Amino acid sequence: MSSGARPKSNGARADVTEAVRADIPPWRYAALAVLFSLLWASAFIAVKVALLDSPPLFMMASRFLVAGGLLLVLARLRRAPFPRDAAGWGRLILLGVLNYAIYLGLTAVALRHLSAGMGAVLASTNPLMLALVAPWFLGERLTLAKVAGLLLSFGGVLWVMASRLGDDNRPDAMAIVLVAMACLVAGTIVFKRCRLDHDLLVINGTQLLAAGLALAGPSVLLEPLAAIRLTPTFLAAQTYLIVAVSWVGMLIWFWLLSHGDATRASAYFFLNPILGLFLGALFLGEALRFPDFAGSGAVAVGIYIVQRA
């Protein structure tokens, strides 16, 4: 899988902007975006399961090291081009720290005090954060229709969030996830502004490996590694996170960013509450309430407006 179209490099911020490429059928882009959202929402459940047998940083570090190492081996076997200078490696390492080490590391820490459904709800703040900064850093036009769609979806998210405050959803854990989301937004901007002419396997694999190395040290120093239990449940959850999320899900995400503007791609994060809440109810027995359904409807309509804008 190649990296596809990449942001153009020049002095005008507007040139970094790109709508969905004309040669990409809208149905294909939308189908891949929905698949990404489904995989990303399911990750919150898998992380909750894995946390039963492992401290959060060890769980993420081991996942990233295995996922990144295997991707880079595959990339080498495919003779994919690797960065040729320190600057190229540096950009990918920075992306790995933002997109994986800080974002997912902090999220795993917070999920000890959040439900999987609430984790998915908070993840959907990504599009609103990105929309606020994309005009400045990416030159993407923020139309009235896009603003209306984003606000409608975010209103649905807030409604659901307000109805789920409680002992199993601590405010400090929510704040940690919001900080993590800001790091993902920063990573998205860096990705769009960089000239990444490498294969997506190299882009994703290097980020994963860098993130795993970044989290390994803090895990060894700060976490009770004696509490790690390599149970079948833990290994199954880790395998799912590596294959379905770190490989398939993130390769789709970088493809979406390469073939469309960042605001349009990130709008699908608003699907995370819908999918996360229902998956949490299905697999973890988390209760569904009327605000969940009403808020999810508002989210769906908001996404439709953004994609049509």
Q: What is the pLDDT of residues 39-80, one digit of tens each?
A: 988 888 899 899 999 999 999 999 999 999 999 999 999 999
Mean pLDDT of the chain: 85
Confidence of residue 15 (pLDDT cuts 50, 70, 90): very low
Cα 136 vs. chain centroid, distance in angstroms? 22
What pTM does this model have?
A: 0.80
Query: Residue 114 carries which side chain, given as an amino acid letter?
Result: L
| CA distance linking residue 203 with residue 306, whole number of Å | 28
Cβ–Cβ < 8 Å for 266, 83: no
Strand partners, 171: none
Neighbour count for residue 46 (Cβ, 10 Å): 23
Share of the chain above pLDDT 70, in %: 89
Instruction: Pick 136 or 285 by higher pLDDT.
Output: 136
Reduced 3-state DSSP string for 64-78: HHHHHHHHHHHHHHC
Cβ–Cβ < 8 Å for 53, 236: no
Pull the structure tokens for residue 19: 């709508």
SS3 at position 166: strand
Select from 203, 45, 227, 25 the least CA-distant residue to 118.
45
Cβ–Cβ < 8 Å for 18, 261: yes
Pull the structure tokens for residue 254: 């970088």
Confidence of residue 135 (pLDDT cuts 50, 70, 90): confident
Cβ–Cβ < 8 Å for 198, 81: yes
CA dist list (Å): 36 to 76, 117, 173, 234, 268? 26, 17, 24, 23, 8
Strand partners, 166: 169
Confidence of residue 112 (pLDDT cuts 50, 70, 90): confident
SS3 at position 171: helix
Query: Residue 130 carries which side chain, given as an amino acid letter?
Result: L
pLDDT, mean of residues 82-93: 93
Q: What are the residue ranges spanned by the domains of the chain?
A: 24-308
pLDDT of 137 above 70: yes
pLDDT of 20 above 90: no
pLDDT attached to residue 167: 63
Q: Name the least confident of 136-150, 176-190, 242-256, 282-296.
A: 282-296
| CA distance linking residue 208 with residue 68, whole number of Å | 5
Cβ–Cβ < 8 Å for 112, 173: yes
